[in-house]
Amino acid sequence: LGHDAFVGVVSRLDAAVSGIVVFAKTQRSAARLCDQFRDRTVEKLYQAIVTGRFPAAIGAWLEWTDSLERPPGPKPTMIVSPATKEAQEATTRARVMVRAGEVSLVELAPLTGRRHQLRAQLGSRGCPIVGDRLYGSRLPFPIPGGIALHATQIAFEHPHHGTPLTFKSPCPEPWMDRFPYLFLEN
C-alpha cells in the first residue's frame, strides 16, 4: 500500500459473529457509506440457530421494538423500560425458517444497529443463539469462541454512483455439518 492508502471499516460484527463486513477504500466512500448506515437505508440480513421455542409460526415475520441499555464492561445488553435514561431503541424483524427438535434456523433483519441487539432480543424471548452463553444458551457451538449468528446479506448504494449493491455470504460449513437438518430446504 502507498503512503496515502486508506481502508476504513464501515460496518462491524461482534467477535463471535461471522459474515459480511463492509470496508471502504477512500475516506469519502467511508463517509458516504456511514451516512447510509446512520440514515438506516442499508438492508441487513442475518441467520441464527436458536434454542427454545421461537414465538411465531414458520415463515411469519414478527417485528420487535425494544429499549436496550448497554451496561459498562462485559455485562450483557439488557432490555429495559423505554423511560430508562440511557436506553436506545432497537427494532428487528424476525422469522423462523426451519424448526428441528431443540433448535430453529431464524432469519433476522435489524432495522437499527445496537450493540448485541439481536443477541439480547433473542435471549430475552427465551430463544438464545446457540453458543451464546452470555444471553442464556446452554447448547455449545461447533466453532470455538463463536456463536450461531451470521451476517448473510447486506444491500446498499454504491457510495459514488448510487448503483444498488447486494452482497451475500452462505452460513459457514461447520453449521451445516453440525445441524444439517436445518439446511435441507435452504
Hey, which residues are catalytic here? Answer: 14
CA distance 14 to 36: 20
Tell me the three cell numbers of residue 74: 462485559
Tell me the three cell numbers of residue 13: 460484527
CA distance 92 to 89: 10
Give 18-57 as a DSSP string.
EE---EESSHHHHHHHHHHHHTT--EEEEEEEEES--SS-
The label of the residue with cell 430475552 reads 124
Instruction: Give the helix/strand (H/E) hosting 121.
Output: helix 117-124
